[in-house]
Amino acid sequence: MMNANLPLLNKLSPDSLYEDENYVRSGGNYTRTYCAVEFETVISQDHIQHLNEISENVSVTQYLKEYDREMALKQISLSNKQNRNKVTSRFVTDDIKERAKAEIKDNEMLLRNLSIKNERMFYFQLLIHIVASSKEELDSLSQLVRSKAGSICKLVYPRLRGKEAFDSFLPFVNNKVYDLTYRPMTSEAVSYFFPFHENEIYHENGLIYGTNISTGNIVKVEDRFLVNKHMFILGISGSGKSTFTITYMLRKYMKNERIIAIDPKGEYGQLFEKLGGEWIKFKLDGDTIINPFDIPVVSAQADDEGNTVETNALYDKISTLIIMFKLMYRNMTDLKEDVLSEILLDLYASPDFGPVSITPKTDIKKLKPTDMPTMLDLYNFLSDLKNKDRKRYDILEEFHQTLSAYAKGIYQNIFNGHTNVDTKSNLVVYDIKPIAKIEKVKRVAYFNILASQRYEIINGDGKDTNLVVDESHNLADPNVVVAMEYLFEMMKVLRGFNCAIVCATQSLADFLSAKTQHRNYGEAVILQSVQQLYLRMKSQEVKMVNEHMNLNLSEDEMSFLTVKEGLKESDSGKGFFYVGSSKVKMEVFLTDIEEELWFKKNYKVLEQ
């Protein structure tokens, strides 16, 4: 039995100890125990936390002993008396006098705290113990520790008392180098040296998002208990946005939630199809249509308090069409918008365009998709207007010409016709990569899909739904701010329908470009998202994010968030994750099956 436990016993009680002037060798390990002898006047708790997180080979030991309060008051009073003598002495240099004045000020504050706030005083001692498998590793770790500790205290290695320092680190509560390390501190000052991780994000029964880099714990989120389920993801290309997004979608899908993704880069379609989902592609020569003129049975908006209010479906549809046409035709003025709104009402009501006349009083439940007008119907309606109402037509003549490409020209196979897609699956991806290089068409298609999904969710069964709006900066147009405003308003409405909207982008500057004199709607979308993930970026983007989003990141945190040139692969999937005010340093990870599906495209694992 003794032989079986020998490896463990050797670790607990090594067979030999050797003391050198620069280290203590314990068995096969090299150790060094530093003493903190001087502390900075102003200390950041973040720096103390970083010191605790350097390495598993670095341990921090603290000794506390309560200091008699009356004795402390006497010592402080005596110190003040001595410092006043220095201030008035003609034999003391000016710099010593200034230091004495500063100490008097600090002591008076300490006296107030001890007398009025009933603070307690402690003798505080700090030891930092380093263990390494070689002398070289010990020296390297020692240099790192001294560097990190520099903003907190001065470290010394007691060369002639190295063994005593080593003994003081052991869990026997016996500090043999007490005389080198003690420092009187108030209870408030001492508390700074216990940097607990208050912002651990771990919700019971939640979804696993990644690991907390600082503690190694799992990051789990149960978004049903949050104010809303929305999320914002930011990071440069290659930072791990898509990897996080796919893990989020797959894990949500495994929990029987509905997943709908708008995919401008064509990344998710094949996997969704292999999982039994719908891969809906939009191509110039395709036949997939979502009719922009479809009217929902129920339509809703959010009031100023964020409450959902039902609205007239036809009026709501026309206001949505106007936004889409603004993206299509950039020269839309207020006059043209007003005239076009009238014409759209006339188009829906006309018996000559479509099998039924649709008015604000029509019972939409009785209509079929084929009862709706199409893009070509609007084009032909405007053509007729040329002869019937020249004054109104002249206002929209340029728009009519632009509309031609979408109604009967090169883009007709995307926008003209009745809806023919099936979105009853719990896993649906809208792939617009084939038109991604045609910027204006991509933006219109993107908005059309987004608007259709808003109506689908409002009129759905209330099932938990996740709408992933990838590359969402496509909606940000400084000339058509209402598109981003639409997304913002949509987030307010759909939170009442068990829907999470996940916006991902690689460009904060583009995302924030949709603004008026009174409001930045890109920023409003971000602030509407309770969950926010900031993955690694270039240094100038980190500065912009920190300043514009008021993240208050420290220099070390900004450095962590900055991608190192040529190290994208090792940097990928790391960043800061927020849930409300809670923040953790997180790394995304994939399960073995997720890695096979996502990185290796090995879909055979689904057959096992």
Nearest to 574 by CA among 196, 214, 148: 214
Query: Has residue 74 been placed in a domain?
Result: no
Instruction: Output b/e per residue, 400-428; b: 16+ Cβ within 10 A.
Output: bebbbbbbeeebbebbbbbbeeebebbbb
The answer for residues whose C-beta is within 8 angstroms of residue 199's C-beta and 6 or more apart is: 582, 583, 584
Query: Has residue 481 been placed in a domain?
Result: yes
Domain co-membership, 410 together with 428:
no
Long-range contacts of 196-205 (CB under 8 A, 24+ apart): 197/49, 198/582, 199/582, 199/583, 199/584, 200/584, 201/577, 201/579, 201/582, 201/584
DSSP code of residue 520: B
Specify the amino acid at residue 542: V
* pLDDT attached to residue 472: 94
* pLDDT attached to residue 263: 96
Which conformational region is residue 438 in: left (phi greater than 0), alpha (psi within -120 to 50 degrees), or beta? Answer: beta
**What distance in Å separates the CA atoms of residue 177 and residue 167, rounded to the nearest whole number?**
9
Query: Has residue 564 been placed in a domain?
Result: yes
How many domains does the chain fold into?
A: 3
Domain co-membership, 398 together with 426:
no
The structure tokens listed for 309 are 């209010």
Of the three residues 420, 435, 450, the one that is the final residue of a domain is 420
Domain co-membership, 438 together with 580:
yes
* pLDDT attached to residue 567: 55
12 pLDDT band, cuts 50/70/90, is low
CATH number at residue 326: 1.10.8.730
Domain co-membership, 186 together with 46:
yes
Of the three residues 361, 391, 420, the one that is the final residue of a domain is 420
Domain co-membership, 253 together with 366:
no
> 309 vs 486, which has greater pLDDT?
486
* pLDDT attached to residue 512: 93
Specify the amino acid at residue 599: F
Residue 63 backbone phi and psi in degrees, to 5: -115, 135
* 458, pLDDT greater than 50: yes
Domain co-membership, 412 together with 427:
no
* 46, pLDDT greater than 50: yes
* 1, pLDDT greater than 50: no
Domain co-membership, 556 together with 464:
yes
* pLDDT attached to residue 410: 96
- Scan for tokens 């003690």, then name that residue: 182
Compute the mean pLDDT over every residue in the chain, rounded to the nearest whole number.
88
Domain co-membership, 330 together with 456:
no
In order of 207, 274, 287, 367, 486, the CA distances from 271 in angstroms are 21, 5, 22, 35, 30
Q: Strands of 218-221's sheet, edge to edge?
A: 218-221, 207-212, 582-587, 574-579, 531-535, 231-234, 499-505, 465-469, 258-263, 427-431, 278-281
Query: Has residue 90 been placed in a domain?
Result: no
Query: Has residue 236 been placed in a domain?
Result: yes
* 54, pLDDT greater than 50: yes
> 106 vs 380, which has greater pLDDT?
380
Domain co-membership, 63 together with 134:
yes
Q: What's the whole-number mean pLDDT along residues 518-545?
A: 94
**What distance in Å separates the CA atoms of residue 155 and residue 35, rounded to the nearest whole number?**
6
Domain co-membership, 61 together with 167:
yes
87 pLDDT band, cuts 50/70/90, is confident
Domain co-membership, 568 together with 444:
yes
CATH number at residue 525: 3.40.50.300
**What distance in Å separates the CA atoms of residue 94 and residue 92, rounded to the nearest whole number?**
7
Q: Give rounded-to-5 percent helix, strand, coil for the chain.
A: 45, 20, 35
| Range of the structural domain that residue 480 is part of | 229-288+422-586
Q: Specify the pairing of strand 153-156 against strand 258-263.
A: unpaired
Angle at 431 between CA 445 and CA 483, to 5 degrees: 30
**What distance in Å separates the CA atoms of residue 272 and residue 426, rounded to the nearest whole number?**
10
Long-range contacts of 286-290 (CB under 8 A, 24+ apart): 286/413, 286/414, 286/434, 287/413, 287/420, 288/414, 288/420, 288/421, 289/413, 289/414, 289/415, 289/416, 289/417, 289/418, 289/419, 289/420, 289/421, 290/419, 290/421, 290/448, 290/449, 290/452
Distance of CA 513 to the CA centre of its chain: 19
In order of 181, 232, 307, 407, 491, the CA distances from 48 in angstroms are 17, 30, 45, 65, 40
Nearest to 192 by CA among 49, 61, 51: 49
59 pLDDT band, cuts 50/70/90, is confident
Of the three residues 393, 420, 447, the one that is the final residue of a domain is 420
95 pLDDT band, cuts 50/70/90, is confident
In order of 321, 334, 402, 452, 455, the CA distances from 330 in angstroms are 14, 12, 10, 22, 25
Query: Has residue 220 been placed in a domain?
Result: no
14 pLDDT band, cuts 50/70/90, is low
DSSP code of residue 460: S
Helices (H), 152-197: 162-169, 178-181, 187-191
Q: Over the stretch 314-325, which tens digit does the pLDDT of each residue have? A: 999 999 999 999
Query: Has residue 87 been placed in a domain?
Result: no
Q: What's the whole-number mean pLDDT along residues 114-119?
A: 62
CA atoms 204, 205, 207, 208: torsion sign: positive
* pLDDT attached to residue 194: 65
Q: Over the stretch 197-230, which tens digit does the pLDDT of each residue have? A: 456 899 989 999 999 988 788 999 999 999 999 9
Query: Has residue 218 been placed in a domain?
Result: no
**What distance in Å separates the CA atoms of residue 209 and residue 190, rounded to the nearest whole number?**
34
CA atoms 210, 214, 218, 222: torsion sign: negative
* 2, pLDDT greater than 50: no
Prediction pTM value: 0.72
Neighbours of 110 (CB within 10 A): 21
Domain co-membership, 129 together with 269:
no
The answer for residues whose C-beta is within 8 angstroms of residue 362's C-beta and 6 or more apart is: 314, 356
- Scan for tokens 């090995």, then name that residue: 602
The answer for residues whose C-beta is within 8 angstroms of residue 151's C-beta and 6 or more apart is: 40, 43, 44, 47
The structure tokens listed for 69 are 């309060």
Element (H, E) at 381: helix 375-388
